[in-house]
Structure 1
């Protein structure tokens, strides 16, 4: 039985939302409510993050194991149809792997991991993630101060969002404490270092990338397009950072709905 914690709302075709490293299902902000108007939306906490416990052996925090654990979770729901999946960052790579294994109806990956080079990994992504993690160990009153003040939120979370000041103080503090307390962060981080995505999705798939992503640089979107080719459209998201669900939830919803529509069109789904 799966121990993955999740929230669920709406009705219709199932859509599973998968967050990135160090985050939690609340990272999806307004997206679940918007999608729930037409779909059965299931937002999960990956094992070792949010309210989900660390995976139990033989499972672990590798992407391959996360994919298998998400597959087990989906099976445990006994859904009437294969779900559509949407993932951000680490969750984006998990979504792509699920699409490669033909376990889902469609996949959308938002700034997915797996398209970096060594310079980007060690010069930008790694240092930024480590700095974010380190900042969460400040004293509680300091964390609360940065969460309460829009200007300080913008300073401390600029690597994730273009508009971190739009986060509520409660969400900002909750995200910070989640990052501090996530037992899965370091083992997932070190296992993710060598990852590259070079496979081919077997279902309709799309990639969205924030034009102002400071964590996984926008030029990685071009690399993704070169590797995956025309069958996988790559859309740049204006005014969005690494976590576009806050900066432009409507753009995220539009991309998801367009990809679901492609899966519902037999001529496209057969490609």
Structure 2
């Protein structure tokens, strides 16, 4: 059983973190979301406090589907709203393609490189982190307490690393050390997202404008593969945007998990209006 926690009330919104991260990544936006949704934070398999990730002869994609859909079944969640960051965004999109998500909000989702050459940059980034973690071993937590080291490492993940408290950083380091085997498995089997999401499932793809892990040009690939989705640029935010601008990220998640007419539109400067949203606005005018 995957580790999780539930907060708030309303329509369920399941939130999935990125590779090597943990459910606490969503804490900066939790209070604002829980005022409007029942928020379920999940540790992915092989991450946080969840059991190790086991393939059992399945592909990585199928094993993730088994574990996530099994989790939804245990909690009795029938097509909840699903939001995800990075790997979590990819899993959310797969859930939508498989008919298990009512809506999807994906923040810089994985899976939108076009070929192995384009993925090489991201693979090299994570291999570098793995090499550093392997070298430091048990000393990783001590090194992470250094403000300079935190600044250097977290600058690759977010635009404002100073927003992350020291105790949260230590928790992230422990999560990374635990997730190393899962990361290696996923890097070896990474594949692009090419599935079709039903047109009646609302999808929002919000890409971080300062993403140094999954570069922002991948947002253009996402536009082409998901032409009916709403596409937003999170300006001034990094790959893990929840600490950079919690209020704005919460607003994106609330809008993505509700009918367009019930949530105030996001400032036009931050995103173009998709044809789906434009048609909805016209129909209700």
- Residues 177-211 of structure 1, C-alpha deviations (whole Å, 9 max, x = no match): 2111224221122122xx11122222101101100
Question: In the alignment, which residue of structure 1 is the partner of 2:117?
Answer: 119
Query: Aligned-pair distance for 1:142?
Result: 5.7
Q: Report the equivalent of 1:226.
A: 224
Structure-1 residue corresponding to 2:269: none
Q: How does 1:125-204 map to 2 (within 5 A)?
A: 125-137=122-134, 138=136, 140-141=138-139, 143-149=141-147, 151-182=148-179, 183-192=181-190, 195-202=191-198, 203-204=201-202
* Cα distance, 1:33 vs structure 2: 2.1
Where 2:243 maps in the other structure, the secondary structure is: helix
Offset at residue 262 of structure 1 (A): 2.7
Distance 1:11 1:38 in 2: 7
Map of 1:37 onto structure 2? 35
Q: 1:59 to 1:147 in 2, by over 3 A?
A: farther
Residues 143 and 56 (structure 1 numbering): CA distance in 2 closer, same or farther, change over 3 Å?
A: closer
Cα distance in 1 for partners of 2:39, 2:59 equals 24
Structure 1 equivalent of residue 250 of structure 2? 253
- How far, CA to CA, are the matches of 1:111 and 1:45 in structure 2? 18
Show structure 2 runs of 5+ residues with no match: 263-278, 281-285
Deviates more, 1:7-16 or 1:48-57: 48-57
Stretch deviating more after TM superposition (242-251 or 11-20):
242-251
Under a length normalisation based on structure 1, what TM-score does the superposition of the two structures give? 0.88
Aligned residue in 1 for 2:215? 217
Matched residue of 1:196: which SS? coil
RMSD (CA atoms):
2.1
Query: So what's the TM-score if we normalise by structure 2?
Result: 0.84
SS in 2 for 1:128: helix
Paired residue total: 259
Q: For residues 65 and 48 of structure 1, what CA distance do their matches in structure 2 show?
A: 12
Residue in structure 2 matched with residue 238 of structure 1 by the alignment? 235
